[in-house]
Chains A and B, each alone.
Chain A
Amino acid sequence: MNALTGRQKLAWAVVAIVILLYTLWPIFSILTTSFKAPSDIGTGKFWPSTWTGENYQTIFAGSAKDLFLPALRNSIGISLISTVIAVVLATFAAYAIARLDFLGKRLVLNTALAVSIFPIISLTTPLFNLWRQIGLYDTWVGLIIPYLSLTLPIAIYTLAAYFQQIPWDLERAAQVDGATTWQAFTKVIVPLAAPGVFTTAIIAFFIAWNDFVYGISLTSTSVARPVPAALAFFTGASQFEDPTGAISAAAIVVTIPIIILVLLFQRQIVSGLTQGAVKG
Chain B
Amino acid sequence: MSSTATTAIPAASAAQAPEKQGRRRVSERTRSERRLGWILAGPAFIIMVAVTIYPILQAFYDSLFSFRLTAPGERRFIGLQNYGVVFSDSVFWRDLGVTVLITVITVAVELVLGFALALVMNNALKRMRGLLRTAILIPYGTITVVSAFAWFYMFDINSGYVNTWFSWLPGIGPDFDWFGSAAPALFVIMASEIWKTTPFISLLLLSGLAQVPSELTEAAKVDGASWWERMSRVIIPNMRAAIMVAVLFRALDAFRIFDNIFIMTNGAYGTETLSLLAYRTSIGRLEIGLGSAVSVVLFLLVILIAIIAIKGFKVDLASRGVK
Contacts and interface: CB of A to CB of B under 8 A. Distances in A.
Interface of A: 1, 4, 12, 15-16, 19-20, 22-24, 26-27, 29-30, 33, 41-42, 44-46, 89-90, 92-127, 129-130, 145-146, 148-149, 152-154, 156-158, 160-162, 164-165, 206-207, 209-210, 212-213, 217, 227-228, 231, 242, 244, 247-248, 251, 254-255, 258-259, 261-263, 266-267, 269-271, 273-280
B259 interface: yes
Given A110-B318, A115-B52, A96 B36 contact: yes
B117 interface: yes
A104 B37 contact: yes
B138 interface: yes
B21 interface: no
Given A19-B117, A111-B45, A248-B149, 20 more contacts: A12-B128, A26-B139, A26-B142, A93-B41, A93-B43, A96-B38, A100-B15, A101-B37, A108-B41, A112-B44, A125-B282, A165-B5, A213-B279, A231-B149, A251-B143, A251-B146, A251-B150, A254-B146, A262-B141, A274-B203
Contact of A102 (B34, B135, B147): B34
A121 B284 CA distance: 13
Contacts of B44: 89-90, 92-93, 108, 112, 152, 156
Contacts of A120: 256
Interface in B216-241: none
A280 B134 contact: no
B117 A92 contact: no
Nearest to A20: B135
A206 B139 CA distance: 11
Contact of A275 (B49, B59, B299, B321): B321
Contacts of B317: 113
Contacts of A261: 141
B135 A113 contact: no
B5 A275 contact: yes
Interface residues of B, number: 111
Interface of B: 1-5, 9-11, 13-15, 30, 33-41, 43-45, 47-52, 54-56, 58-59, 62, 117, 120, 124-126, 128-147, 149-151, 153-154, 158-161, 163-165, 174, 192, 195, 199-200, 203-204, 206-207, 210, 249, 252-253, 255-256, 258-259, 262, 275, 278-279, 282-283, 288, 291-292, 295-296, 298-299, 302, 306, 317-318, 320-323
Contacts of B15: 99-101
Contacts, number: 346
Contacts of B51: 115, 123, 127, 145-146, 148-149
A1 B125 CA distance: 8
B52 A118 contact: yes
Contact of A126 (B55, B145, B147, B302): B55
